[in-house]
Each structure stands twice: as C-alpha cells, then as structure tokens.
Structure 1
C-alpha cells in the first residue's frame, strides 16, 4: 500500500524542574541553597531513511512524545537530559505545520532535522541566592517542549515526471528506458503507485524518471485518484507529457493534451509553467495523418515533439537523449525552504502562552491560566522571596492589571488552582 500523506502529533519533552534544596552537613552551619537545575527534555528529530518509500508506518502510529528531563537534586546536581525521539521518513518528505501549512523542513538531504525542541531545564534555588536573599525557597520549573500537529507529504525526488491519461503507455515507457518494473496491462483506470526508475544514457550520465499515476479531468479538484499524486510532479525539473496519438481509447490526442495541462494548472501555476516536452506514444498504431496533425499542434506551441512507440521501443532512445539535453539547461531538483515564523506570528505565539481568564464567584476572583501551574507547583508561598517572585509574574503578565480593572478591593480573595490569597495593594 502506497501512502504519501499523513497527519501526526509530536511533543518534545518538557525540561526537568529545578530543585529546592539546602546544604546540610553535621559541622557546617547555614550551608546555603544547593538545588540543581533540571535536565533538558528530549527533541523530536526527523531523519531520512533510504529504505523507506512510503509513509505507511504513520497510519499505525500517529503520536510521538519525547521524555521529560530529570529534575534537579541536592548538592547542585543537574538532572539528566532526556533522549531524543528519532522519526525516520522517506527521502523527499516535506514536514508542515498542520494548521498553518507552514513548511518546517524538507527531508531531502542526509542531515537530521530537529522539528520540535525539548524544553530547557528549570533553574534550581542555588541560582537565586543573593546577599539579600540567602535562603531562596523556590526554584524554576522546566520549560515546556514544543508540540505540533504535523502534516507529512512525500514528494518524490525525480528529474523527470511522466504525466498523461491512464493507459497512454507511461508504465511501458519507464519499463523500457529504465530498470523499473511496474505492473503493465491494458487497464482502463490508473495504477495506484508512483514508480521511480533510473535512466542511464551512458557511463556517468543518468537521470531519475517518475511514472506518475494517470490523471483524469477534474483531478485537481479531487476527482479520481490522480490528484493525490500531483504533488509528486512538483519537484520534477522536466515534465514528459505522454499522449496516445492513435486515439485507441476513443479520445482525441489534442483534447487529452489540453485536459491534462488544465489539471496541472489547477493544482499549481508553477507546475503548469514547468518545462515540458511531448511524447506521442502508440505511433505504431496511428495513421500518418494523426501523427502529423498532432505534431503541428505541439510544435506550434513551441514544444519539443517526439514520436515513439514504447511497446516496440521505437523512438525511445531519441526521447531519452532529448530529455538528457533538456535537463542540462535546467536548475537542480527543487527543494522546499523552511518557512520561519514572521514577527507577527512569533508575537502571537508568545502571547498565546500567557492567555488567562478571570471569573468572579461569591466574591472570589478565580484566575484560570494553564501556564501558571508550572510556577505554582514549585513555589513556596510561605517564603517571602518566593511569594514576591510569584507576584512579579502576576504583574508582568497583566493579571494584576486585569484584577484592578475588574474592581478588586483590598482584602478580596484570589484563587489560582488550589492556592488562595488575599489581595493587597
């Protein structure tokens, strides 16, 4: 089963929490804070595996979560960093953020790519000791690891893509010019799997050709199966448009040619503008008048025309040499650049982590903010310096301003999770 698109969830590990600890030794008075930092959470790393040719594994496993870093401990001991989670994908996989479509990575090279970074470990209380704060009873929690819903799309890496209607002879063509062995029969429907083949011209000269499953009218709008494979033509440097010049399926070759180009344009204008040559296949079954009519039409469009019969190999050698010459004029196979967040998107993402909601019930102001849990669970509210740190967080994130805007009075109760305190101006 060939699968070239998959949706998965990834979550990098959270950082370990810093420790609150004090040095204790029998003959050492006031040993001071010695809480160590938490370890780093594991990364989510993508790596190319040339033994893979499909995304089928991701139909069975869709969730990948890295471990949290270990918490810090006493004696200034750092927590251990968590191991990375390595996800192997076929070469040519494009990794996108599912909600926005933003490209995070194009897995075309050999270097591993970190897609989701593990959170840094929180600092232990040893970091917060000062001349005026000699016994800090608080530490910082570990930072959250990145998490994404991802869309994986496999876009085959080939120099040349064969396009055309089903049963025009694409599979036969790639089988006679390369070592690829696709299933070949007189199907009236498209085959289901793209096929890659290496075409060797002579020693040191070769190119990769992809047989893209046949398209039908409406494919770019989701009709039939061909639209699912149009993405595999996106990287191709050159399109070889295979047309049944004999009209053996009862269609007109000129109408076929225009219909397929319309589908390419419907999917991507860049694809429609890609270099293209035309292979008039099944010429051994066509009349000279049919061939000449189609030749004039194609050449009037300024496109190279090759008369071939894949079944008998007539003209296939000339076609492959023509393709090789054309490729020499073209840039390398397309790679998709990762798209960094814009300043506006980055600001919005940071602000979203400080969202909060305040409701009032029976005179109690309830503050709801998931991100505050990491601070509350390690803070010692009986310690003045720790409480002061917590108050600074409430002030800097706008929670205090919002409470005052809502009319809170001195002595009113504020509740955050299971922690309650009286508001003091």
Structure 2
C-alpha cells in the first residue's frame, strides 16, 4: 500500500495535440516494486485494480562490466560516457556543491517535505558511466547513486508529453489490462503500476534490463505530476528501483536500507495484510535533483520521497510537470522461492501425507517427520540452485 500523494499547487491547463495511444504490453507473473493499494490525498480519483504481472526474461547475451561492452546495446546504445540522446535539455541545475554532486539550494530545501533551509543532508555519489560490476560491488542494496545523463541506457527516446497525454486519454476511456492506475481528480498526480503493460516501449526496456542486470524479472512504474511539490509521500519498497527522469525535474530525499526497521522490512516482504509501507527519513537524508536523462538507484528498503521540482519554474522549467519511470527488480524471499516447491516435494514423503495418530492414542514419531523434511529441503535447494545456474548460463 502506498502512502498518500502530496501536492498543493493547482494543475495547469491541459496541453493539446495528443498522439495516438500506444497498445498494451504483455501480461503475467509477480507484482511490481510499488505494489499495493493506497489512496491519493486531496481527491477521490477511482483506483483501478487489475491482475499484476512482470516481464519474463528472454535469453539475452551480455556479461558483467560496463553496460554495453561486448553485449547487445540497450535502447539508445551506450558509449564510454553516458549521453542524453533522446532526452530534452535539463533544467537549471541550481545549488551544485563543489566537486560535482547535484544538490538543492537552501531556498529549495526549505520547500521539500521534511527538509529545512539548514538541513542540506549528505551529498549523493554520482557517476557518468554505468558500470554494472562497480554497481554490484559498491551500491547494490547498500546505498543510492545517481548516473547523470545515463537515461538512454535504460529507455530511449524519452517519453514525451504527447505520448503521456495520449496515454492519459486512453486510461480515462478504458480499463488497462495488467496495470493499476491511481490518479488524483485535480489532475496533479497520475501513477501507473506495472506500466509495461500499457506502454510497449517500457515492456521492451524491461526485458532488456532484466537480461543485462541478471534479474529474473523486471517491472516498470510511471509517475506523472503537474504542480510544484506534487508527488507520492515517503515510503519504502521491497524492490530495487532505478528512477529514470523523462521530463521536467524531480527533487528526492533518500535514506539507507538500515533506516527501515527489521520488523517493517519483514512485513513488507511478506505482504502482511493492511500494512502501509510508509517510510521515515533520517534527520539528514541524501538530497538530489534529477533532470531529464538522469537515473537514481534506490536500494530495497531505503525510505525515499520524490516531489516535482519547483526551482526554475519561473523560467518555465518545471511548470509543465514531471514524468519519471521507475524500473524495478523485485526482491524475493526464501519463503517465496522455496516454500511452494518444498510443499510439493513433501507431498511425496509418506511421513508427511499419511494420517497422524490422535494425541495420546498412538506413538508420535517427530524424528521420522524431521528426516523426511530435511531430505525434501535438500532436494528443493539443489533443484533451485540448478535452475538459477542454468538461467545464468542462458544469459551469458
């Protein structure tokens, strides 16, 4: 379940000239990174629910190391340094700190929920090259990182406003298959969970990214905001997310995975009924502004909040709104991966399917049950390990 959507500024007037609506993508599998219900603050926009799914991974060649080296290129291609091919020019980068990290000025920081003019937070690590080996060794499930201008490594060309408005018109007319749509009736916020089912470009990008990063599956969420300060409230996910800014600017506050308690992580991973994964940021979170073509990695369980940028709006930079796509690798627990095959294997063990004697009537034999359980668990872990190894060889 997502926390409420934030925002106060009235939505600007609609834009004209919407292009034809794209066709829907594939259906199937497990839920995405922002899975769950929730409500939108400030409006009673209808929440549409549908069967959620994830893209199954095709066999794509390519190994570790720098993305694009010795492998099929991602949409848009890759060079030694990331470029902004297919993306609009970025907005004014105010408040850069010495040394390069993109920051938020003191005036901007005062306008971000949870921030004050004096609390600038920590500088976030930035890179100009997307190196998968470094990513897994240094950042994966540890800390956030920003790749400046690397959006074309994930999706190219960028989703433009014509395509977004065509999608909005389509979603207003028909129920999407496989996706979940949440919107606020004032028009400030549109959030599409499992957006790869409604935009073929995202469907194709998910398949390529899953093969490149070695994931079993990949999903995509789409976030559209209109009005400075609009966005989804602070929360954490049970997925590793890559936020790719498409249009406009977005300001982010980000914590670390350890800022979410173990009990709340457990409830999120087990999809405990009624649990709301609202997040709590540290006193001085990481702060960063994303512009078109920038990519932000959000580790699993790390609390985060993104709001549409306001600085530069006087120049028309943010007045049109913000569009971002989040590509997600959904975390999988041992319970999810092993429990069902273990139950199937135990159904073949006589000690586990035959009738038990009533308590106090016949002898109990817990050792026989334990031996059968250990035997079945060994078989299942060996089978799963073989499947994972075969899957990895298929992508190599």
Give the TM-score normalised by the residue count of structure 1: 0.19
Between structure 1 and structure 2, the one with the greater Rg is 1
Q: Work out which structure has the larger RCO, using CA pairs closer than 8 Å and 6 or more positions apart in sequence.
A: 2
- Tell me the TM-score normalized by structure 2: 0.20
